[in-house]
Structure 1
Amino acid sequence: MHQRQVDEMTTVRAGVVPTQRAALYSVLGILATVAVCGSFVVSFGVHRVFTGLLAGAVVGVALLAALFTRDAVVLTDYAIYRRKPWTMSSISWDRVVAGRFTLDERARWSLALDLSGGDEPHGELVLLSIPPVVRPVAGAYDLRKRDQVTEIRAILRRKRIPVTVLPQIAGALQEHWQIAPPAH
């Protein structure tokens, strides 16, 4: 399926960029900044180093934004698409066994799908990893994460995917973000 077709469907963006890929993207952003700054210094002399740094920072940030934006999991009514800057693969909803909202190894809340078959590590696809919710929505980050939880929950409900939520997570989501616990 072409990228334009994926974007035109009803979609929910999710996904967690693994630490190794985030480090690679950061290195690429720094290299882009250094390359542009170096080009300015070579072309215009040492007195243009600050102009080079500014131009390099703009290019580096733009590159980082492009890489992190492209690296995502997109849930549609037809399939789950895992996008990376250089590839896109799809996972059929038939492979999704269940979902779970639990604590991960870093004490963050992790919303993941358990998958049957395939090449995913441990047969799971992590959709969201957020710090524990301990207060009402306090800014844009909290609002976006609350919206993501709501959107992911809605599509999983439509697909009739059972989701297990730890009681302390369900309680905090209901108390602070007004997200009702899943119906059984």
Structure 2
Amino acid sequence: MTTVRAGVVPTQRAVVYGVLGIMMTVTICGAFVAAFGINRVFTGLLAGAVAGVAVLSALFTRDAVVLTDHSIYRCTPWTVSSIDWNRVVAGRFALDERSRWSLALDLSGGDEPYGELVLLSIAPVVRPVAGAYDLRKRDQVTEIRAILRRKRIPVTVLPQIAGALQEHWQIASPTH
């Protein structure tokens, strides 16, 4: 079974996660100061920062879209919902409102409030793979396109995006 992780954390939820991480840091720092005195404020900050980063990491890791051969799962730290592949009308790789490249699925009907499910949002590709981030994003694009091809989901790609993907990341346009 093929499993592909994708997804973009909405800004509102990212802010909530950030606030939770800061609250964890402040709470642990406060507990250290209360238990051991003001001389342990830096120890409390260090312990709080470690816990805050752990909370942020757990929240952002859990927030994802998981594409499998059977369904699409929208996961948040508190819920998991599934979307049947038969609800996917098409995919598109286009510019979003922030001039980033967005790979999204258009969905029909259903109970969820999704009309669109954003799988990726990346900065425009202007050079070959230059590091781990670029490599991971190239692999995600390739994996998502492969599963969409197997599911026979039509994908529209803007010509400038298709050209840049082919030139810099050696990803052939969908018509090849």
TM range (shorter): over 0.9
The match for 2:54 among 62, 75, 78 is 62
SS in 1 for 2:59: helix
> In structure 1, what residue type is equivalent to 2:36?
F
What do the CA deviations read for 1:75-118 (whole angstroms, capped 9, x no partner)?
00000000000000000000000000000000000000000013
Is 2:72 the counterpart of 1:80? yes
Matched with 2:153 is 161
Q: Give the letter aligned to residue 140 of structure 2.
A: Q
- RMSD value, Cα: 0.9
* Distance in 2 of aligned mates of 1:120 and 1:131: 27
Q: List alignment gaps of at least 5 residues for structure 1.
A: 1-8
Could you tell me which residue of structure 2 aligns to residue 150 of structure 1?
142
The TM-score with structure 1 as length reference comes to: 0.93
2:88 matches 1:93: no
Aligned partner of 1:182 in structure 2 is 174
Question: Taking structure 2 as the reference length, what is the TM-score of the superposition?
Answer: 0.97
Q: Of residues 131, 136, 141 in structure 1, which corresponds to 2:128?
A: 136
Matches of 2:132 and 2:99 in 1, distance apart? 22
Distance in 2, matches of 1:166 and 1:120, equals: 26
SS state at 1:26 partner:
helix
Tell me the residue number matched to 1:103: 95
2:19 counterpart letter in structure 1:
V
Is 2:113 aligned against 1:120?
A: yes
Q: After superposition, where does 1:5-24 map in structure 2 within 5 Å?
A: 9-24=1-16
Residue 38 of structure 2 corresponds to 46
- 2-structure distance, mates of 1:26, 1:33: 11
Paired with 1:120 and 1:165, the residues of 2 have a C-alpha distance of: 25
Supply the AA of the counterpart residue of 1:120.
P
Task: State the Cα distance separating 1:120 from its structure 2 match.
Answer: 3.0
- Look up the equivalent residue of 1:159 and give its one-letter code: K
Aligned-pair identity in percent equals 83
Q: What is the deviation of 1:11? A: 0.7
What's the offset of the Cα at 1:183? 2.0
5+ residue gaps, structure 2, are none
Q: State the 1:10 CA deviation.
A: 2.4
2: CA distance, partners of 1:120 / 1:178: 35
